[in-house]
Amino acid sequence: MHPVLLRIPLPSKTLPLWWILLAVALFAVVSLVSSLRRSDKNAAILPGLVAAACGGWAATHWAETVTLKPLPIYSFGVMLGLSLVVAWFLTLELSDREGMPREPMGNTTVFAMFMGIVGARALYVLTNLDEFQSLSDMLALRRGGLVAYGGYVAGFLASVFYVNQIKQPFSRWIDCAMPGIAIGMVTGRIGCYLYGCDFGKPLGEGAPAWLKAMGTFPHWPAGTLDAGDGAPAYLRHLEVFGHSELLHTLKETQASLPVHPTQIYESLVGVLLLVTAYLVRRRQSFQGEIGLTVAFGYGLLRFSLELLRDDAERGSYGPAMPEHVLIPFAFALFALAFVVGPATSIAASTVRSAASVLAFGPALGAYLVMRPGEFEPSMIAQFSTSQLIGLGSAMIAAAFWSHLRSLMGGAPYTRPGEREGRKVAVEVVAPAEAA
């Protein structure tokens, strides 16, 4: 694992914190003024928020100082930045193909990404309030702490607001944006793997050697990071198994137990969703189908992956029930959502009926695997935060699926750019035919 890619040397010097914040605020104000001079009020929203946040923080933390030291460039931050850039370019490319205005779509993407990071941090803070003693702790993103689903929800709400402001159809926007989220998932989760967060449960003895090697996270040398001297999985296992015979093994190997590399699993989920989005695009039946496909698919797959996660920061909510009841019940809800939503896009009635029946297979399978033996106690479980949001987002996607499909009234879907191209062709050909 490589949590720090490199360190940028800086002169040893102490500066007032408000100097740095004021410099960022002034830069944002310049961008704000430039947008207003172009009469682009929508583009002024993001720099306005940044200027207000930095100005407010400088006013409340004017007495604090910052001591410059070698600046670490974290692998997670690099991969997160790469995912945002790639998602931005892909979204613009798809917006062009959909005939949507390029600059407003670019502004929407940047605004949604910014609010997504805010939302990801906010959900992490809300689920781990005991870790934070002050506002500055909550804002210290360099120490890590983001919940992906918080970012998706916040980015979704921000884009609803922004797209409404520029008077563009939201269903077309999500068709362009959701594939970008899928590809961002691919690179972003590799960053999680390099850092070692979001790890899974210990692997069984029969797991392949290559998987065990991939899922073993090391003890880092002291000083690698400001907080902690080991990968999150290693520290977690020291805490959980510190009073067992495994403690000697952990200290001898200076590494965690082999665990499921759930970060890599979710990166592969991103690849699967991206491929699925492009397959749906080739046979799209209504506007918004691509975006809803990614939303439904991620909700289901993220819920499933959470069953393998073992990090303690996820938070648990909802009713505490026997695991063999709670999880199959959730999969049954996913199956019902599939029948109401995605299954309706299957043209062949026989295939649609078969897919609807098979959708309940995971619920039955989960019950058979999780039910306790005759004299065994039931395992009590709760949903994690991401499981609740994943289940809710899948059901909402299914409801919108049914609504947007009904608006088509059975008519075949034609992409806006294709309609415009056909119209131009008619105008060009018609005079020649008349002659």
Q: Among 400, 431, 347, which Cα is nearest to 178's?
A: 400
pTM, two decimals, is 0.81
In a domain, 210, yes or no: yes
Number of independent structural domains in the chain:
1
In a domain, 77, yes or no: yes
Q: Domain range spanning residue 61?
A: 4-313
In a domain, 355, yes or no: no
Asked if 393 and 157 touch (Cβ cutoff 8 Å), the reply is no
The DSSP bridge partners found for residue 336 are none
Task: Name the CA radius of gyration of the chain, rounded.
Answer: 25
In a domain, 301, yes or no: yes
Q: 99: phi > 0 → left, psi -120 to 50 → alpha, else beta; which?
A: left
In a domain, 422, yes or no: no
In a domain, 409, yes or no: no
Asked if 387 and 143 touch (Cβ cutoff 8 Å), the reply is no
Asked if 259 and 203 touch (Cβ cutoff 8 Å), the reply is yes
Range 347-353 contact pairs with CB under 8 angstroms and sequence separation of 24 or more: none
- What tens-digit pLDDT sequence spans the chain (435 residues)? 677 877 888 777 787 877 788 888 888 888 888 888 887 777 788 788 888 888 887 777 777 777 777 777 888 888 888 888 888 889 888 888 888 888 888 888 888 888 888 888 888 788 777 777 666 667 666 666 777 778 888 888 888 888 888 888 888 889 999 998 898 889 989 988 988 888 999 999 899 999 999 999 988 877 676 656 678 888 888 888 877 778 777 878 888 899 999 999 999 999 999 999 999 998 888 889 999 999 999 999 999 999 999 887 667 777 888 999 999 999 999 999 999 999 998 889 999 999 999 999 999 999 999 988 877 788 888 898 889 989 999 999 999 998 888 776 656 677 665 554 444 433 444 444 433
The DSSP bridge partners found for residue 7 are 72
Alpha helices (H) in 196-322, listed in sequence order: 209-214, 232-241, 246-253, 262-282, 289-306
In a domain, 89, yes or no: yes
To the nearest 10 degrees (0 to 180), the angle between helices 75-97 and 170-195 is: 160
In a domain, 283, yes or no: yes
DSSP one-letter string for 381-392:
EEEEHHHHHHHH
